[in-house]
Chain A
Amino acid sequence: MPEKKLDLLQGTLDLMVLQTLAAMGSLHGYGIARRIEQSSGDAVLLNQGTIYASLVRLQQRGWISAEWGTSDNNRKAKFYSITKRGRKQLAEDAAYWQRLSGVMGRVLAMQGEGGDR
């Protein structure tokens, strides 16, 4: 049995979407979902449909913009791209996550010192 997939923490999907758009430029929903799956090494449990709630949320906050366009294979799709404000927010959130994961790493790496004496 493969390793159990990771449940996404609330709010982390928004950050992943922002990062993906920042890295890849303009993408449609399916593209973003696939990119997240690929870059996480398929370790994330993602119902692709949930991405749309995240997208509309980010859009309402003004961090990404959307536009209908045509894909490479000539299909009509909505393309999202990150805005200037979105980049600022991404920088802030990414720094926060890095600090948090650093702290979490250190705390979890703590060794028992007095317990087994």
Chain B
Amino acid sequence: MIETRAALRQALERLRSFFRKTPMDRDLDAEMAAHLAFAIEENLRRGLSPEEASRQALVRFGGVAQSREQHREARGLPALDLLLQDLRYTFRTLRRDRGFASVAVLILALGIGANIAVFSVVNTILLRPLPFRDPQQLVWMASDRGVGGLSAVTYTVAAYEEFQRHNRSFQNVTSYDPYFGDTDYKLTGRGEPQQVAGVAVAGDFFPTLGVKPDLGRLFTPEECRKGGRAAVLLSHFFWRRQFAADPAIVGQAIMLSDNPVTVVGVLPASFDFGSVFAPGLKMDIYVPAIMDLYRNTGNTLALLGRLRPGVAVAQAQAEVDVLMPQIRAAHKDWYGDYATKMTELKDYVSGKLRRSLVVLWCAVGLILLIVCVNLSNLLLARTAARGKEFALRSALGAGRARIVRQLLTESLVLAGAGAMLGLGIAFAITWYLARQGSIALPLLSTVQIDDAALAWTLLIALAAAALFGLAPSLRGSGANLQDALKDAGHGMSSGRRHDRLRAALVVSEVGLACVLLVGAGLLLRSFLRVLDVDLGFLPSKAAAIKIDYNDGGKRERRGAILQEILRRASAIPGIQGAGIVDMLPLDRNRSGGLQAKGRIYGKGEDPGAAFEYVVTPGYLRAMGMQIREGRDFSWQDTPTSQPVVIVNQVAARRHWPGQDPLGRIALVDGQDFRVVGVISDVRESSVEERPGLEMYLPATQADPEGAELVVRSQVPPEALASSLLRTLRAYNPEQPAAEFRPIQSIVDHAVSPRRFFVLLVAIFAGLGLLLASLGIYGVISYSVTRQTQEIGIRMALGATTQRVQLGVIGRTMRLVLAGIALGTITSLIAARWIAALLFKTEPTDPAAFAGTVLLLSAVALIAGYIPARRASRIDPMIALRGN
């Protein structure tokens, strides 16, 4: 008890003394002076001569300086004193060598900044749990084992309700309507009409996720029933943007698609539906999905559930494997068997990105390694130049540990400054990324520098400091004292060992850069191949805008309205073609049943569903889709004429193999349609995956789910946006100010994840190349400096400028080629590991490898040429006189 109190007290006093050095030293000096005076007096009294009295007093006292040192150590914080001393010294040396310090800090900042930024992305998408309550309990359910378009992986209301009723694994199963486009709303009565993006969710959607409203309340059961009071929840950002964050809006009615709807609440800013369920989209409003209205719409619900505590996903999977066939057996009229695949929601959201992100993480890790190797190299050069300084310090009594410590302090200071600047860079990058709504990566909008990222920063800064600081400091402190003091630093043999280490560092640096470049090359080739894919339509110079019309659900009226809209749109100067479709390729999709009439499908020959598009005449041409056989729809295809369908080649081959499909009768959702055309396959759901079966139906003979007006123009389509909207408004004043989307932007959105990864890896590879070339330059330049004399002698003996240059460049290339050899072998192994990320590109793609070798050699040549030129300009007279 006494002991601990005393220890605590002492600790506080020590801290106090640390800040009161001068007064305490003055006090001690006075005390010691008094001590000696007393001793001398006593000695004089004993009869000693004055000199002897004072000599003996000093002997007995035993060293004033030591006593003062002991005193300081006993009273203060010696470790901290030492650290401060090291720091002061470090700052002094770094200030003296500003060029070195700023280059080092800049390089570190780039390396560390890139690492923090990538870590933040990885952490957000991959590592951090989803922003819901107990997210590990949330499970995504996909019908048809998750294979196929939206219609395949979704459920009917009946299937949903039956599963909800009979399962035992889930606390609750909830759903939403993933056909967002159908539920686009028009906000009127507040400025000009506006399109707002909304999603219909089951009444228990938010409670199941554990999302609580910021203001107001969630939906009541009454609001989720047919005929109940219309209610809407606002997303936080829409509330801020549209209603200026006015809390009074809760309880008021707004006009949505011409109906008054009561705002019942505002969701928290942390809830972003799009970032989890529809990356790249932002939802403005949420409305209740009224199940009775969905009963006859087929597979229209996406299901997710919350497991009971202690139930694993595998158990839920086992249950559904047994349960669904039972439910199906009880409902002979269902057309799907709902073979369900259960995935943890987190896996569903980001599982596909795991490998890409890990690759990205590795790439950025390589960058940090290159940075460390580079700095190690720079520091080694410095250590060599400072050999005398260290020798002097150790001659003055500094132990080896003391010098290692000093050098590590320098590394830490550099790493610390680099980390600080790196944080700034990472902050800027994440800020930018979080605002890139067009990149279809989940959760990207929530990327930020959080505590985990800060901890990661600290970790990599320390690791980097240890990595790049240790070798040089051990090397620096281990130098032979006498040699170092004697030598003027231009020694020939003493530097050999040093040079070998530096050469090894450069070789590994080049090797690492080589791996990065090959990886980037492969990904870039893949990306170019993706851009080169024949989409089946021509995205450039075409654009789409959502249109609004009211046909009262009558096909005759719809035909007239759409024809009129198209007539007016086509009349706008510059517009070459126009057409209307319900769903754009790569944007949304739905499927319907398609088979050849009269054909008996064998076992295992599932007729399957086809992607279904309801279009007007002119749409195919406006999109640049190619009719291979037969004709486009015309306005003569009316509700009363023979129903007609156009299929794609995949569908034609599947259902009429070896026959001409034209003129044959297809069963579309059970009705007879005559095939009048075959078009080239369109990449409807993904740029990278093969097209599936597709069918196109005229808008006068089938019912569309929404309407997109597509126009093709000679001029860039953006230029037409305002005149087109004016025309639409003139026809229908209710037409909302919808987004005018170039078709190219839809394609860009689809390939944005790949573009994102390629861009980052390419940037890292460029950074790696730059750093490697700096490293090469540094080493060669340094060795030229060291060999000034030698070169001078050789030139005096008749070596030509050219010979000297060739010598230096030859040395450079030897290093670089060793690095390339090492890197190429490593790349061959690494490339196989990223094979899954490549698109129509072999992991051994010769172009990527050859390009890397050429690029690295060329850059190395430049990096070596500059010092070589300097070497050849050495004036022998000056060089020889130099020492």
Contact = CB atoms under 8 A, between A and B. Distances in A.
A60 B13 contact: yes
Contact of B70 (A28, A31, A33, A49): A49
A28 B63 contact: no
Contact of B31 (A52, A60, A61, A63): A52
Contacts of A25: none
Chain B, interface residues (CB within 8 Å), range: 20 to 34
Interface in A19-75: 28-31, 33-34, 47-50, 52-54, 56-57, 59-63, 71, 73, 75
A99 interface: no
Contact of A50 (B5, B17, B30, B62): B62
B253 interface: no
Contacts of B5: 62
A89 interface: yes
B38 interface: yes
Given A47-B63, A48-B60, A30 B34 contact: yes
B2 A88 contact: yes
A75 B38 CA distance: 9
B71 interface: yes
A29 B29 CA distance: 12
Contact of B35 (A48, A59, A92): A48
B6 A61 contact: yes
Residue from A31, A47, A88 whose CB has the most chain B CB atoms within 10 Å: A47
Contacts of A33: 35
Contacts of B14: 60
Contacts of B28: 52
A115 B64 CA distance: 52
A62 B6 contact: yes
Contacts of A62: 5-6, 9
A53 B74 contact: yes
Contacts of B61: 47-49
A81 to B, nearest CB: 15
Contacts of B60: 47-48
A61 B9 contact: yes
Contacts of B41: 73
Query: Which of A49, A50, A89 lies at the interface centre, i.e. has the most chain B CB atoms within 10 A of its CB?
Result: A49
Contact of B38 (A28, A52, A53): A28
B73 interface: yes
Given A52-B28, A78-B31, A89-B2, A57 B74 contact: yes
Contacts of B31: 29, 52, 77-78
Contacts of A47: 60-63, 66-67
A29 B27 CA distance: 13
Interface string B36-61: 01110110000000000000000011
B10 A60 contact: yes
Nearest to B63: A49
Contacts of A73: 41
Nearest to A61: B6
Nearest to B28: A52
Given A30-B34, A89-B2, A49 B74 contact: no
B34 A77 contact: yes
Residue with the greatest number of chain B CB neighbours at <10 A, chosen from A29, A54, A88: A29
The interface size bin for chain A is: 20 to 34
A61 B66 contact: no
Main secondary structure of the interface of A (DSSP, over half): helix
B837 interface: no
A75 B35 CA distance: 10
Contact of A30 (B13, B35, B64, B66): B35
A78 B27 CA distance: 9
Contacts of B63: 47, 49
Contacts of B70: 49-50, 52-53
B32 interface: yes
B75 interface: yes
Contacts of A34: 42
A49 B64 contact: yes
A63 B116 CA distance: 52
A61 B67 contact: no
Nearest to B57: A48
B67 A89 contact: no
A33 B13 CA distance: 24
A48 B73 CA distance: 17
A77 to B, nearest CB: 5
Contacts of A50: 62, 67, 70
A40 B531 CA distance: 95
A81 B480 CA distance: 53
A60 B67 contact: no
A69 B195 CA distance: 89
A29 B71 contact: no
A60 to B, nearest CB: 4
Contact of B2 (A59, A76, A85): A85
Given A28-B38, A56-B71, A49 B62 contact: yes
A52 B70 CA distance: 8
A53 B34 contact: no
Chain A CB within 10 A, most for which of B7, B39, B74: B74
Nearest to A57: B74
B75 A30 contact: no
A71 B41 CA distance: 13
Contacts of B66: 47, 49
B35 to A, nearest CB: 4
24 contacts: A28-B34, A29-B31, A30-B34, A47-B67, A48-B39, A48-B61, A49-B63, A52-B31, A52-B70, A53-B70, A56-B71, A56-B74, A56-B75, A57-B10, A60-B13, A62-B5, A62-B9, A73-B41, A75-B38, A78-B31, A85-B2, A85-B6, A89-B6, A92-B2
Closest 3 CB pairs of A and B: A47-B62, A49-B67, A60-B13
Given A52-B28, A71-B38, 20 more contacts: A29-B34, A30-B38, A31-B38, A33-B35, A47-B67, A48-B35, A48-B61, A49-B62, A52-B70, A52-B71, A53-B67, A53-B74, A57-B75, A60-B9, A61-B10, A63-B6, A77-B38, A78-B34, A89-B2, A92-B2
